[in-house]
Structure 1
Amino acid sequence: MADYAILIDDFDIAIRLGIHPHEAVPQRVRLSVRLDLSYPAAPAADRIEEVFDYDQVRDAVLALAAGPGFALQESLCDAIAALCLADPRVMAVRVRSAKLDIYPDATVGCEVVRGR
């Protein structure tokens, strides 16, 4: 077995996220995703077909952001984790979200860890 981690950090999106009236419009949210993967063997041919393509995570998150949104950061993080875990090579995923513009002196966020 060959174990790897893929990191997608500082992924800024605009998404409807929150319960307050002023959050009915998209706001800036920063995401970080860590995927722990296990492959049968280390990639030998240096080809994308041998490994998890992180483009699929980015594309799926952008599709989520274009949708109706979420009331809770927990729900957003769980949805992203579920997308990642759809690939059987993903053993665990850690998703962190942070609302960037809620407070002038802090970000507020959520982190979930999901595994098999």
Structure 2
Amino acid sequence: MLSALSHPLLSDCRRLFLRNYEVMVNIGVHDFEKKGEQRVLINVELYIPLALSTPKEDQLDEVVDYDFMRETIARRMAQGHIHLQETLCDDVVRAMLAHPRVRAVRVSTMKPDVYPDCEGVGVEVFQIKEGTL
């Protein structure tokens, strides 16, 4: 798979990532899924222009803080039951793109405990902020 950084609109970006962030969430369309939480692994990649993410004073406010990714996901989890991973993914993408420094985002979610014969089932979304030149 080619890196998104090879995309012309992202060639001047830095990639920040949160890998395999494990959350317990009430997700699913089946009755048995609505009775409790399931383990979901969330991956986030943020693409931020180097001009907006290269520290000059080695200070946290010069970059996008990793806490932003975790806190954004936590706020979504607090909203209650989610039927589809697609909805979860889309909601997280939208919230990440709302950050003024983020140009693009990739989010994936995976339910690792659905089937015993595979690592997991999931969905992934990649989106570049509209109006990016």
The TM-score range, normalised by the shorter chain, is over 0.9
**Deviation for aligned residue 1:100:** 1.2
Where does structure 2 lack aligned partners over 5 or more consecutive residues?
A: 1-11
Would you say how many aligned residue pairs link Structure 1 and Structure 2? Answer: 115
CA–CA distance in 1 between the matches of 2:62 and 2:72? 20
**Coordinate RMSD, CA, aligned:** 1.3
CA deviation profile, 1:28-50 (whole Å, cap 9, x unmatched): 00010000001426211111100
Hey, which of these two has a bigger chunk of strand by percent? 1
Q: Which amino acid aligns with 2:115?
A: Y
Alignment match, 2:122: 109
Alignment match, 1:15: 25
- Equivalent residues of 2:28, 2:84 under 8 A apart: yes
Determine which of 13, 32, 37 is the counterpart of 1:26. 37
CA–CA distance in 2 between the matches of 1:23 and 1:78? 20
Hey, which of these two has a bigger chunk of helix by percent? 2
CA–CA distance in 1 between the matches of 2:75 and 2:100? 21
Q: Normalising by the residue count of structure 2, what TM-score does the alignment of the two structures yield?
A: 0.81
CA–CA distance in 2 between the matches of 1:69 and 1:16? 5
Higher relative contact order (CA 8 A, sep 6+): 1
Q: Normalising by the residue count of structure 1, what TM-score does the alignment of the two structures yield?
A: 0.92
CA–CA distance in 2 between the matches of 1:60 and 1:84? 7
CA deviation profile, 1:15-73 (whole Å, cap 9, x unmatched): 11110011111100001000000142621111110011120220121222233121111
Q: Which amino acid aligns with 2:45?
A: R
- Equivalent residues of 1:9, 1:31 under 8 A apart: yes
- Equivalent residues of 1:39, 1:89 under 8 A apart: no
CA–CA distance in 1 between the matches of 2:27 and 2:127? 21
CA–CA distance in 2 between the matches of 1:64 and 1:26? 14
Which stretches of structure 1, 4 residues or longer, exceed 3 Å deviation after superposition? none
Determine which of 76, 82, 91 is the counterpart of 2:88. 76
